[in-house]
Amino acid sequence: MVFSKFKTYGELVMFSHTLFSLPFAIIGMIWAAKGLPSFETVFWILVALTGARNGANALNRWVDKDIDKKNPRTANRHMPKGIVNSLEVWGIIIICFGIFIFAAYKLNPLCFKLTPAALFLFFIYSYTKRFTWACHIVLGIACAGAPVGAWLAVTGKFAFAPFILGAVVALWVAGFDIIYGTQDIKFDRENNLFSIPAAFGLENALIISSVFHFIMIILLIALYFIMDLTWIYLVGIFISAVLLGVEHYIVSPSNEKKMKIASYNINQVISPIILLFTVLDTFIG
C-alpha cells in the first residue's frame, strides 16, 4: 500500500523526467570543480535538485488541476481523476521545497540566499499560461537554475560560463515545451490560455522552437571555447544536434505517439549524451 502510494506520487510529479535537468546540473558541478567536488557537495546538490524539481512539478499539477480536468488530453491525470487530493499534493510541495531549502542551506550562504528567487520562478511559472505566451520561456528559465545553482554550490560565486549553460537549458526546454504545446492549440484558444502555438499558430511555433534549439547548439559550441574543451565534447554536441533535427522532423501534433517521442523521449536522451561526452572530455580528454 505504501509502495503503491509512493509510486503514484512519483507518477504525479513525473519523477522520471528528472533526466531533463539533472545531467546539466552535473555538468555545471563538474566544470565548476574542474573535476569532482567533495561527496558532501555532490550529495546536497542532488538533494536540492530533486526537492526543487519535484516540488515545482507537484505545484504545477495542483495549479492546473481544473484546466487538466477540462482538457481531454490531460483529464486522466492524477488530480482530475481524484487519485490524489489537494492535501496530499500540498504535502508533497511543502516537503519537497523544505528539502530544497535545507539542502541549499547546507551548500553555502549564496545558494541559501537565492532560494526565494528560485521558489518565485516555480510559483510564477505555474500561472503564466493564464496571462502570457512566454510561459515556455519562463519554464526554461526555471529549469536553467539547475546548472547555475550547481556551479554556485561548488564555488559560492557567480561566473559567466554557468549562465551560458543556463541559457542552453532555457532554450532547450522552451523549445521542446513549445512542441509539446502544439497539441493544445485549439483547447488553449477556446479556454483563453496562452502559449506560443496558440498565439502564433502551428507553423510559426515550430519555427520558433527550431530557432531556440539552433541557438542552443551555437551556445554549446561557444562553451567549447569558453571552457577550453576537446573534440570529445564536440562529438556529443554533434550527436545531440542530429537528435534535435530528428525531433523536429518527426513532429506531428495529430499523432500522440510521435509527439511523445519528439517532445519527451528524444530529449530524455539528449541531456545524458551531452553529460557523457562532457565527462569523457573532463576526465580523459
Model confidence at 15: pLDDT above 80? no
Range of the domain at 55: 2-284
Model confidence at 254: pLDDT above 80? no
Q: Which of 7-21, 108-122, 160-174, 256-270 has the lowest mean pLDDT?
A: 7-21
CATH number at residue 94: 1.10.357.140
How far, in Å, CA of 185 to CA of 192, rounded? 11
pTM of the predicted model, to two decimals? 0.93
How far, in Å, CA of 184 to CA of 123, rounded? 22
Find, among 27, 36, 35, 34, the residue nearest to 277 by Cα: 27
Summarised one tens digit per residue, pLDDT across range 189-241 is 999 999 999 999 999 999 999 999 999 999 999 999 999 999 999 999 999 99
Number of residues written out for the chain:
285
CB-neighbour burial class of residue 158 (10 A; exposed 0-12, middle 13-18, buried 19+): exposed
CA angle 188, 185, 254 (to 5 degrees): 140
Question: How many domains does the chain contain in total?
Answer: 1
